[in-house]
Structure 1
Amino acid sequence: MPLIEVIANDRLGRKVRVKCSPDDTVGDLKALIAAQIGTKPEKIQLKKWYTIFKDHITLADYEIHDGASLEMY
């Protein structure tokens, strides 16, 4: 399965680009983001509009595709 690139933005204007698989869970994505920004994955919350993504659900189930932009809190 091809990799997708997800962009996470925080309130400070920081952008993190992460390559991952659609089969990865939101928890896996948080771990990849945490490795880049030096924060613990448990402290990261990913949202899109008013949907808060749960760690155990895959990116494909949330229909997160290549180039998707998420909010990081």
Structure 2
Amino acid sequence: MIEVTCNDRLGKKVNVKCEPDDTIGDFKKLLAAQIGTSPEKIILKKWYTTFKDHITLGDYEIGNGSSIEL
């Protein structure tokens, strides 16, 4: 299990627990359940990289303690 922090840049941070072999689409569903938004509306980025739904967190080198922007 890893814990990833999601920052919406409006002052709200959410910690999501997931597995490194989960896809970004699976991660969006877990995040959506915590923040109350539909997963289709969530766009995850880190700097200028927009994450694609079919690639795993491990492939993007997202590990325990990583931070992602909404």
Q: State the TM-score, normalizing by the size of structure 1.
A: 0.93
Runs of 4 or more above 3 Å deviation: none
Identity percentage of aligned residues: 73
Structure 2: gaps spanning 5 or more residues = none
Cα RMSD (Å): 0.5
SS in 1 for 2:3: strand
Q: State the TM-score, normalizing by the size of structure 2.
A: 0.97
The aligned residue for residue 34 of structure 2 is: 36
The aligned residue for residue 66 of structure 1 is: 64
How many residue pairs get matched?
Answer: 70
Q: Do residues 25 (structure 1) and 23 (structure 2) align?
A: yes
Structure 1: gaps spanning 5 or more residues = none
